[in-house]
Amino acid sequence: MPTDAQATAAWGEPGAAVTLRCGVEQLGPVGDCQHVDSGDGTSVDWIVATDGKDTWSFVTYGREPAVEVIVPPAVTEDHSTSFIADLAPAVTQVPATKECQ
């Protein structure tokens, strides 16, 4: 799915697209910090949040710049968010300087 913003990617159907943004501000160790293993030996720490309306936000923790993934309710109604582990090979191109505690 095309986007009109720099450093972004989107996939899925209109109204149910997952959006990835590179270069977002790194978050502090707040909220739900989760260590996600990809199954191939790589792992990424993510700050996981919801807006209370079933939109999920995942922001890499300990990587500068950070990556944000927004998953709308139309996706989470029928699919899990386990695909976040599949992003590890790309996200780990930015070295980790911190880990979830």
Is the pLDDT higher at 12 or at 61? 61
**Closest to 36 (Cα-Cα) out of 2, 10, 61:** 61
**Whether the predicted model's global pTM rises above the 0.75 cut:** yes
The model's pLDDT over 11-56, given as tens digits with 9 standing for 90+, comes to 788 878 899 999 988 877 677 899 998 888 899 999 998 887 889 9
How far is 43 from 86, CA to CA, in rounded Å?
10
The model's pLDDT over 70-96, given as tens digits with 9 standing for 90+, comes to 999 988 887 788 899 999 999 999 999
pLDDT for 1: 54
